[in-house]
């Protein structure tokens, strides 16, 4: 992975994907299955790159700790990381021939070291 430029700007990303029906931001009158009234209803985290090249995901301690009953999550991260990692998303649906309202599963390899049993969550993303 390329190092991040000093001119990089912070960005915000959300899960589930904003363009999906499972997104907290998708209103129920548009078919959204998990609408929230505000992004602050999502689990709040931030991502930081450590000196060894590992990315770590932390609780955003400016807000209440996640209860893990939230229907969405949002994370502050590098703008470069956000735009680069998601740059393939627009072709994802076309390449896999997904059509509107098709079900799909998302695997998140690299998050298997996350321990949600602690008061403060720290995840090494590999």
Domain spans of the chain?
A: 10-125
Q: Please give the model's pTM, rounded to 2 decimal places.
A: 0.67
Helix (H) or strand (E) holding 76: strand 73-78
CA 41 to the chain's CA centroid: 14
Q: Which DSSP helix (H) or strand (E) runs through 82?
A: helix 79-85
Residue-wise pLDDT tens digits, 6-54: 788 878 877 767 678 888 888 889 888 888 898 888 888 888 878 887 7
Quick check: 76 and 12 in contact, CB under 8 A?
A: yes
Q: Tell me how far CA of residue 94 lies from CA of 5, 18, 50, 88, 108, in angstroms.
A: 31, 17, 35, 11, 21
């Amino acid at each position: 992975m390329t190092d991040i430029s000093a001119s990089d700007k912070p960005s915000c990303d959300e899960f589930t994907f904003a363009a999906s029906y499972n997104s907290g931001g998708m209103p129920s009158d548009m078919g959204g299955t998990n609408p929230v009234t505000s992004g602050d209803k999502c689990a709040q985290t931030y991502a930081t790159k450590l000196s060894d090249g590992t990315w770590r995901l932390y609780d955003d301690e400016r807000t209440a700790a996640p209860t893990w009953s939230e229907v969405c999550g949002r994370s502050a991260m590098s703008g470069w990381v956000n735009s680069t990692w998601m740059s393939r998303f627009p072709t994802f649906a076309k390449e896999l021939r997904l059509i509107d309202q098709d079900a799909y599963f998302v695997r998140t390899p690299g998050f298997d070291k996350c321990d949600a049993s602690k008061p403060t969550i720290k995840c090494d993303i590999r």
